[in-house]
Structure 1
């Protein structure tokens, strides 16, 4: 990190004539990280952060499960968690994070503008006309799919939608998952997001009531009939994609019956090799083994149940005979592991099948990006091009999984002088952006207006013994911001 920061400072110092104008699209950890480094590297750079939501902070606000215990984390550790792509895994006190990010947003050379959507409010080509550098620092906006029969049945949701629903994201306020027509939910995937979702479904609602969970979600969960959750993975417990922290939390739910088949815990030499090279995988396996050994043979009356199901992949979703176009279960093919290289195994079908009955399915199998006009896109992988593009308009780049790589990419091209001719030309920057938005009747929400939203949410939360009561509709958010 120190080396990249030094190189960036030296590169920016070589620019001349006009102040560098930088626009960062996305106000999550990656966006604020890039803004902070840019402001420190060049004493005259002007940085604008735009976001389609009226609220900043991205996953810190809408992707973090509300029931995680508070942890005192520095800004550095927050960034480290994000850099390691664990932003959905490490749960951070909201207040600590926004205090750190607020210092960046309130910097005299930095501005935040919410309610500005790339594509509908302003195009990528227009941003590139206005700024020397444009950084795309927002995450994937859609979900991966299985491409198997029945995937469009009612009762099937993505985990992302469900997380946004209970976190009060305005796009998913009206998701309305049916929690009352079944006692069983199947979650496809065994990563940290899957465990978060399972925990929200199974945790006593009196424990959720004092968090910042959205009220509509809390009310629905209080009336939920869900008592049994299946966490299903294609591979075995050695390959489970969660971390020990998340696993401990779900296993620690009060009065919870945990079911793990002893046969699934049998390790092969290939499994041993994988664990030898990964402390995380070893610790996850140990926790699952301990949970299986200490669990009772069957659940008792009133207990909620968590079933870990390994070596299964969905073959199709079953349609209910009683309720048309509604899911009634998942048809699974049993799998076995096949080595494809040193320390790597993949799941392959065995030709044996079984069903799990349920009326609710949550898919936690990853995300995919949406194409942006003017940016190369890999439709097969669902990814934007992450390497930078330099032309007569300026510098355009997509943040990578590791934001430090983005900073290094900027540094590399600046060091080579690729921006020298571009930086010799004036760019309208912030003034041009606000003029264009005004002509289109787009109302940008500055950071001071976000602070109004924040104040309203905190006040409403204090009335309910919660840290905040999130405003969950676009109408309420914009009203609070502009009042």
Structure 2
């Protein structure tokens, strides 16, 4: 097989996106085809990213007080030592963006079909950059009539405290906020709660921007309430994230009613799943609570963290004093329907059992328990709302996209058309492929699996005929998205002529060094993130 691959046409891969999935994919492919091997000598991997900075979710999604998760960035730096790898930052793939800001004018825009003829393979790994919305909730971010002030999506709020350029305009008025409601009970919801309730002194040595620290220093937030539409047995946050909240200095957790926990444990026992033990351990931790707050001697700030269950927002209601600002939430109370028990398969005498349908849902999963609205409603006051109800991906021109699921149509990483037929040499990985689920480790395994699939498919491609070994005599084989074998040489003209506005990995390292120097100059032990595209480009111009 090795000698067969060595005689194939070059493998030239374009990756759109530069988050962990994209960079794990690049790392896997190059490791599987070493550059000193016959199979690897004609391999190229080019990564395109719309921002000047790589690392995607690791840089802009992981909370700043989780530096151990961000350490994976150092692994990606090793790619720079392989001359078959190239990074092109500040490049927008697709039609021109609607943004007319100065940073958009300094970004190189490249239509997908201008890119693909230069490559044999395409990997779509650009993550989830849109928020799922509470479209039917008046006053929410997705309301057709517009949102109230002090209502944010988790994407916006996380982008704000992580210094994402798209959130540079967000400045929450935390000085006049006492109560915050977070809708959703995943890890992102707890990240937002922790940042709001944590002592600012414990954040100053992270890479969080000074502009964010200035707002947090003035914060009057005392209570953060994290609300879910289902029960305690269906929370999506992990034990690790919840334990961090329990151990937060100067913060109390309001214990949950005993009958709520007992019902949740009963449901877990009735529908055993592989994660049942973990869920019961988490429920035990939730039941324990942490008692009254013990204020830190190093800070006067105290706060309270609450969990609420079986509530769905019906409307975000304006404040009587400020009609354009959130003042309260009207909730519909829910009843929890236990998940259905799958029927026992029966087989008629002398007949073969019917095969199970592929990818059938696991109906015993606690995630399948349903929240049914009741006629009961309640209203609670609040000063600020964060909608943490999930993310969606954006579609890309000519790429099959599932609008309902908010991700690219694919089967195990192979992009497929509307009829489920694989599009040759086009793959997807990460959140844009399987939805916004999992942690960094699961993203890595998904990326590795997709690249192994690509290599397997590539090994099955027909070999060039012996009489046509000269590349110049071969007619290009084109796919429906414009990929071709052999590919056009070099780079698209828009990239090669863009100059310093296209950021190489070497240029990115200069930006990273500038962030470190900026932090040290302000007395930090590490970096302070640069949060605008203009500033990043100025570093390398």
TM-score category of the 2 structures, normalised to the smaller one? 0.7 to 0.9
Deviation at 1:271, TM superposition (A): 3.1
Shift of the alpha carbon at 1:276?
Answer: 5.8
Instruction: Provide structure 2 residue ranges, at least 5 long, that are not aligned to the other structure.
Output: 34-39, 97-108, 141-146, 342-363, 435-445, 465-475, 479-483
User: Does residue 391 of structure 2 align to residue 367 of structure 1?
Assistant: yes
Native 8 Å contact 1:388 1:409 kept in 2: no
Q: Which has the larger radius of gyration?
A: 2
Q: Pick from 245, 252, 256: which aligns with 2:247?
A: 252
- Is residue 275–residue 281 contact of structure 1 (8 Å, CA) maintained in 2? no
Residue 409 of structure 2 corresponds to residue 409 of structure 1: no
Give the 3-state SS of the residue equivalent to 1:432 in structure 2: coil
Report what 2:128 is aligned to.
140
Q: Does 1:112 align with 2:87?
A: yes
Matches within 5 A, 1:121-140: 121-140=109-128
Structure 1 runs of 4+ with >3 Å offset: 10-13, 15-18, 274-277, 296-302, 389-394, 418-425, 438-442
* 1:426 matched residue in structure 2: 486
Aligned residue number for residue 88 of structure 1: none
Matches of residues 68-467 of structure 1 in structure 2 within 5 Å? 68=66, 71=68, 92=69, 94=70, 96-119=71-94, 120=96, 121-147=109-135, 148-151=137-140, 152-262=147-257, 263-267=259-263, 269-274=266-271, 277-278=274-275, 279-291=277-289, 294-296=290-292, 303-342=302-341, 343=364, 344=366, 345-386=369-410, 387-388=414-415, 395-399=425-429, 400-401=433-434, 402-417=446-461, 422=477, 425-428=485-488, 431-433=490-492, 435-439=493-497, 443-463=501-521, 464-467=523-526
Query: Is the CA contact 1:393–1:422 (under 8 Å) kept in the aligned structure 2?
Result: no
The yes-or-no answer on 1:46 pairing with 2:82 is no
Structure 1, unaligned stretches of length 5 or more? 1-9, 72-91
Alpha-carbon distance in 1 for matches of 2:190, 2:462: 45
Take 2:2 and 2:228, find their aligned partners in 1: how far apart are those partners? 47
TM-superposed CA distance for 1:411, in Å, is 3.5
Structure 1: how far apart are the matches of 2:2 and 2:129?
33
Shift of 1:438: 4.5
Distance change in 2, residues 1:409/1:422 (3 Å): farther
In structure 2, how many angstroms separate the alpha carbons of the residues matched to 1:376 and 1:229?
40
Separation in 2, partners of 1:440, 1:336: 58
CA shift in 2, pair 1:13/1:189, >3 Å: farther
Give per-residue Cα distances to partners, 1:301-320, cap 9 Å, x unaligned.
96311111111111111122
**1:105–1:336 Cα change, 3 Å:** farther
| Residues 22 and 46 in structure 1, CA contact (< 8 A), matched pair in contact too | yes
CA deviations 1:404-455 (Å, max 9, x no partner) are 34224324432432797849933135x223x222456782100110111011
Q: Deviations over 1:2-41 (max 9, x none)?
A: xxxxxxxx58953635421111111111111111122123
For residues 60-71 of structure 1, the aligned pairs below 5 Å read 60-68=58-66, 71=68
Tell me the residue number matched to 1:30. Answer: 21
How far residue 231 of structure 1 moved from its aligned partner, in angstroms, is: 0.5
In the TM superposition, residue 139 of structure 1 has moved relative to its aligned partner by: 0.5
Number of aligned positions between the proteins: 446
For each residue in 1:315-336, what CA deviation from the matched residue of structure 2 results, as whole angstroms up to 9, or x when unmatched?
A: 1111223223221121111112
> How far does residue 460 in structure 1 lie from its aligned partner after superposition?
1.1
Change (3 A) 1:111 1:13: farther
Residue 74 of structure 1 aligns with which residue? none
Cα distance in 2, alignment partners of residues 457 and 297 from structure 1:
37
Distance 1:241 1:335 in 2: 18
Q: CA RMSD in A?
A: 2.7
Aligned to 2:472: none
| SS in structure 2 at match of 1:356 | strand
Deviations 1:158-204 (A, max 9, x none): 11211111111111122112212220110001110100100000001
Task: Tell me the secondary structure at the aligned position of residue 339 of structure 2.
Answer: strand
Alpha-carbon contact 2:318-2:325 (below 8 Å) kept: yes
Cα 1:419–1:207 shift into 2, 3 Å? farther
1-structure distance, mates of 2:54, 2:293:
47
